[in-house]
A = this chain, B = another copy of it.
């Protein structure tokens, strides 16, 4: 998942800037991420960062698309889509400070930045909700969107808000819950009934 971390003999400066940007945007919100920081990560001048990508927004957009390949996860998921997604969400504390960037990291960091919103909505539909919905049988885009929202919500509570209750993975209990929730959403056919109280 780490993007081209071993710089080729000739890793163009532009690429190195992009790498640094990905990392920054994955750990801080859009506003918190300053071009000057990215620049000094790479060891170049701010002006060059700007010039290379045209604007902060453009850089953000490129960083966003560069991150994920969500479909790769889905491809390797086999028929246990729910399990794969759940694992992807929970497995992470291990490589906490590594230079790894998980699919939704950038999204959840900037969910509320108006300046980043437009870029992200398109991205989410094309690169996340799309693939998931394709994985589901029929044209279940809404279910895919719901699942994605669930994933984003949980990720945010875990990694941004850092709500303790969603961080301890004692005995994989949490992961199991998430997996089952997703599985349930996948299987939702406006027929099944499982909960406690009747509507």
Contact = CB atoms under 8 A, between A and B. Distances in A.
Interface in A111-144: 111-114, 117, 120-121, 124-125, 129, 141-144
A48 interface: no
Interface in A39-58: none
Interface of A: 28-32, 79-83, 108-114, 117, 120-121, 124-125, 129, 141-146, 148-154, 156-157, 160-163, 165-166, 173-174, 176-188, 190, 192-199
Copy number of this protein in the oligomer?
Answer: 2
14 contacts: A31-B31, A80-B199, A82-B197, A111-B160, A112-B160, A121-B161, A129-B165, A145-B157, A145-B165, A149-B166, A153-B153, A184-B194, A184-B195, A186-B196
